[in-house]
Amino acid sequence: MTIRSTMLAALVLLCLLFRVQRVAIGADVTLTPLVHASVQIDDGSRVIQVDPWSRGDLSRAKPADLILVTDDPIHHLDPEAIRALRKPGAPVVVPPASHSKFPEGVALANGEKKTFAGITVEAIAAYDIKPGEPSHPKGKANGYVVTLSGKRIYMAGVTECVPEIRALRDIDVAFMPMNLPLDRMTPAAAAECVNALKPKVVYVYHYDQNYAAGTTNAKNIAASLQSFRDALEGQSIEFRQGDWYPSRR
């Protein structure tokens, strides 16, 4: 091998190493499923708690620099869990319709974008397409896109695949609901929505609607997860299965 070719090979190797280092810097965000719709996002210096719920094991969770609440049922807006995990003065972002239930929170409406604790937060509409009760009308609840350490992370909340979701771009990780009441967001519908969104990584969550009552049908849940996985086959989207439903004590 000539000196010139040796130097060229070394240069290529150096470029590859640089690219790997850049990926590693962007990969420093840790995502921890806690329970149902509750997830912890941590980049080593800042912690976000989304929909903290006392039914989960809060001893596994870190104190939050920012708390995001998507809706007002107890498994989304749980004042006890918020008090347990909130650092002094940490912002708690809520939809305007939920503000009266947590007046200490900061209301952020669908379509608004603000910075809290140095973290960019976009409120994305979350609502039903299929009519019927229980209903989730447009404007009542939020999904959120947060940008942390260069990663765009989307928590959909309780929603169907509305135009506001389909319009999102450059999502690194998405948390998508499944098995919602009235056959909303079936595994096939959730997978179609993910394929339209095209995140690099997807978790499904909020998929066992009977967990709180202790009437989980484990066989049906396993089948729905497999159906979702099958519907994603052939796509360049990584499916990660979280431990969303710990044993009830």
pLDDT band of 2, cuts 50, 70, 90? low
> Residue 175: beta bridge partners?
155, 203
Question: Could you report the per-residue pLDDT of 208-248, keeping only the tens digit for each?
Answer: 999 988 899 999 999 999 999 999 999 999 999 999 998 86
The confidence score (pLDDT) of residue 27 equals 56
Question: Could you report the per-residue pLDDT of 72-107, keeping only the tens digit for each?
Answer: 999 999 999 999 999 999 999 999 999 999 999 999
In this prediction, what percent of the chain has a pLDDT beyond 70?
A: 88
Edge-to-edge strands of the sheet including 151-155? 113-116, 119-126, 141-148, 151-155, 173-177, 201-205, 238-239
Q: With a cut of 60, say whether residue 20 has pLDDT above it.
A: no
The confidence score (pLDDT) of residue 25 equals 26
Which one has a higher pLDDT value, 179 or 8? 179
> Pick from 66, 190, 224: which is nearest to 51 by CA?
66
Q: With a cut of 90, say whether residue 191 has pLDDT above it.
A: yes
User: All domains of the chain, ordered by start, with CATH?
Assistant: 29-239 (3.60.15.10)
For every residue of 174-188, DSSP letters joined together read EEEE-SBGGGBT-HH
Residue 199, phi-psi category: left (phi > 0), alpha (psi -120 to 50), beta (remainder): beta
DSSP-H helix ranges across the chain: 3-26, 79-85, 163-166, 187-197, 218-232
Contact 61, 49 (CB under 8 A): yes
Helix (H) or strand (E) holding 204: strand 201-205
